[in-house]
Chain A
Amino acid sequence: MTNSKSIFSTLCAVTLFTTAPFAGARDNVEVVGSSTVYPFSTVVAERYGRASGNATPKIESTGSGGGLKLFCSGVGTNYPDITNSSRRIKLSEFNKCQANGVKDVIEVQIGYDGIVVANSIAAEPMNLSRKDIFLALAAKVPGVEEGVLIENPYNTWREVNSDLPNTKIEVLGPPPTSGTRDAFAELALEGGCKTFEWIAALKKIDKNAYKDICHTIREDGRYIEAGENDNLIIQKLQTNSAALGIFGFSFLDQNADKVQGASIESVPPTFDSIADKSYPVSRPLFFYVKKAHVGVVPGIVGYLNEFTSERAWGEDGYLAEKGMIPLPVKERRAMAVNTRSLVPMTGNEALQ
């Protein structure tokens, strides 16, 4: 009994001891942001850690918006040093950064990512246009009369376009929280949406209404939100050869034996077609660095140098192997010089 009493008091003592206050310094770079850039920045972090023997940067996948929110919250070791983004920083986010004391932000564009619409290799390959995608997936589509929108009436691909197969429209894709979904809406849906002249004209008059029409995806069960896990979409495509799936190019690259990418406007999604921008549904990838942390948190410069080295982001680099599409060589060189000399954004960029 005295035994258990002493155990009890020891437990209490240890508890008090372990809840003692902690110091704030850290010796590893903290990176947050886009889940699309995550697979690339993690490789760089790991290589940098192993080659230099320093602490490996910690990468958190929070989504582009979540990452920029954390990044712009302030300066100091409690806030992340770098944030990844699968879209450019918005003006509102940049202003928030400035307001919170994050004055000097270095912008680094690292390459491109293609978004693919794919189906099982057991099915016929598809050849879609952005207009087909818009008509099949938008919540509201233009009716017979000009200027009138109707609830999306299409149930099969043939109803959308008589050249397409007579299969049910069934598309598995990411949920609204995903950067892939944002980019897909912007590049594929809006691209098709713009082909209707009166909607394109609406952009100048009422931007919000235009965005509403072009970016809203139907919710009657034809578009199925499959969560953020792209492997799951690939599994489901395998069991259902009539369905299409939407995900990043790297997943297509890794699962070429299970799924095939649909050609968009007759351009198949390949490494080269995304790199030369002929494949229409591709987007730039970025990361942003807090200049105030350079020199305070060790390893930021080393990580930047590794990321902007040819062996990482070059045509034959290891990031290309992971499915990232590199920048053209000229832009890449300029970007590397800019990044290594830590040139911050001026605030005069044409941000949206």
Chain B
Amino acid sequence: MSKSVDNLAKIKHSLTRRNRAEARFRWYGRIAIFIGLSAVAVLFVDIISKGHGAFQATYINLDVSYNQDIIGIDNLMDSTQLVAGDWQALSKTALRTKFPQVSGRSDKRELNNLLSSGAGFDLKDRLMAKPLLLNETESIWILADDDIDTYYKSWLDGDAYAARLSEKQIGWIDELHQQDLIRLQLNTNLFTRGDSREPEQAGILGAVMGSILTLVLTLLLSFPIGVSAAIYLEEFAPKNKWTDFIEVNINNLAAVPSIIFGLLGLAIFINFFHVPRSVPIVGGLVLTLMILPTIIITSRAAIKSVPPSIREAALGMGASKYQMVLHHVLPLALPGMLTGAIIGMAQALGETAPLLMIGMVAFIVDIPGSFTDPATVLPVQIFLWADSPERAFIEKTSAAIMVLLTFLIIMNTSAVWLRKRLERHW
């Protein structure tokens, strides 16, 4: 009797201490989550504050006359004439008409620098789309140079960055601003063009297409191979030293630094099989190697989580092992496998290191349309822009990061959604 009273006293005595320990532990958890969340918040605020400007670009309104003598052509159907034509003269003449008082070689050059160096080609595209404009005049918004864009945006924000502009150029911009002939517009180039060395003409469509082509190939290769390997190892393979050995190796492969897969790809696919450099095929093959272990491991976990009773019931009803796996285990394990595949794909989407070795870190302007066109991918585009000297690429870099994060969020959310929707609880 006295012993149990003793115990009770002991328990009561230690109760406050134990409660306090638990309360402390909860606080540790809350602090950990707070630190994690604030790191994410800092990242997002930094990227969005730097990158939001990139979604707008500066345009200047000018009266362009599509005079065939200015361009030096007489037939819009003649492609050799189109190549030889002086399209830059269109935008230059338009500027000259707007500011007729400008004379002198260097002044004219400064004036021409108000507009993007691709402005002439943009006007060419416009004329090709609307041939009736030839020898007509129209008032049109023309893309401004990146230095003008940087200046104008910073000037609107009240902290003008004028180091790369001359007094005269600032005067012209002032004049345009007073006449409402310069404004910020939605930057469609960002979503419709490939890479460019001129920040105002640079877009991420090329990199997005490259990422899509590479990932499609990665998925098509890695999912069937990974799932087949997992099914065989889990359901058919005998449990012996060999399968243990294979399992250890798969787990090891999952932890190998990704650059090594790039070296492997360079040695095998490019140097031995002569797959061309920089194309989505070789990128897809390398990324397949990289995420295969992840997919095999998650698929095996998904198969393991299917209760044995399902298998026994199927076998008991006279199904063959093959039927049992394909008709019962696989459909039930599929949600888990898909989640694993999506996580693997998200990992592949964010990868740059292995692509460095196989030539996908390159300057590629043309938007890839097939698996054999030279291509680059989103994270590589971010890397290339971050490395460029032009200041206007800073906001482009952050904008590209936002696009990449959007894709990652979509993929990870769909993984969670798929799991929630399709998962069965036993």
Binding site for B on A (CB under 8 A): 1, 4-5, 8, 11-12, 14-15, 18-19, 22-24, 26, 28, 30, 35, 38-39, 42-43, 45-47, 49-53, 55-56, 58-61, 77-78, 228-231, 248, 250-251, 253-257, 316, 318, 321-323
Which of A46, A257, A316 makes the CB contact (< 8 A) with B163?
A: A257
B residues 285-337 with Cβ under 8 Å of A?
326-327, 330-331, 334
A58 touches B276 (CB 8 A): no
Interface of B is mostly: loop
28 contacts between A and B (CB under 8 A): A1-B327, A4-B330, A12-B224, A18-B220, A18-B281, A22-B276, A22-B372, A24-B276, A28-B366, A35-B387, A38-B363, A43-B198, A45-B363, A45-B365, A50-B121, A52-B83, A58-B363, A58-B364, A60-B362, A60-B363, A78-B277, A228-B387, A229-B387, A255-B391, A256-B163, A256-B164, A316-B109, A322-B197
Any A CB within 8 A of the CB of B117: yes
| A247 CA to B83 CA, complexed, in Å | 38
Residues of A within 8 A of B221 (CB): 15, 18-19
Q: How many residues of B contact A (CB 8 A)?
A: 50
Binding site for A on B (CB under 8 A): 79, 82-83, 109, 113, 117-118, 121, 161, 163-164, 196-198, 217, 220-221, 223-225, 227, 270, 274-278, 281, 326-327, 330-331, 334, 359, 361-366, 371-372, 374, 386-391, 394
| A49 CA to B365 CA, complexed, in Å | 8
Residues of B within 8 A of A53 (CB): 79, 82-83
Assess A78 versus B374: contact at CB under 8 Å? Given A49-B365, A229-B387.
Answer: no
A231 touches B365 (CB 8 A): no
| A26 CA to B390 CA, complexed, in Å | 31
Nearest-neighbour CB distance to chain B for A297, whole angstroms, equals 12
For A56, give the chain B residue with the smallest CB separation: B365
Residues of A within 8 A of B113 (CB): 321
Residues of A within 8 A of B274 (CB): 24, 78
| A312 CA to B362 CA, complexed, in Å | 21
Residues of B within 8 A of A58 (CB): 278, 362-364, 374
Assess A39 versus B361: contact at CB under 8 Å? Given A1-B331, A19-B221.
Answer: no
B224 touches A15 (CB 8 A): yes
Residues of A within 8 A of B362 (CB): 58-61
| A11 CA to B216 CA, complexed, in Å | 11
Residues of B within 8 A of A46 (CB): 196-198, 365
For A52, give the chain B residue with the smallest CB separation: B83
A28 touches B374 (CB 8 A): yes
For A8, give the chain B residue with the smallest CB separation: B224
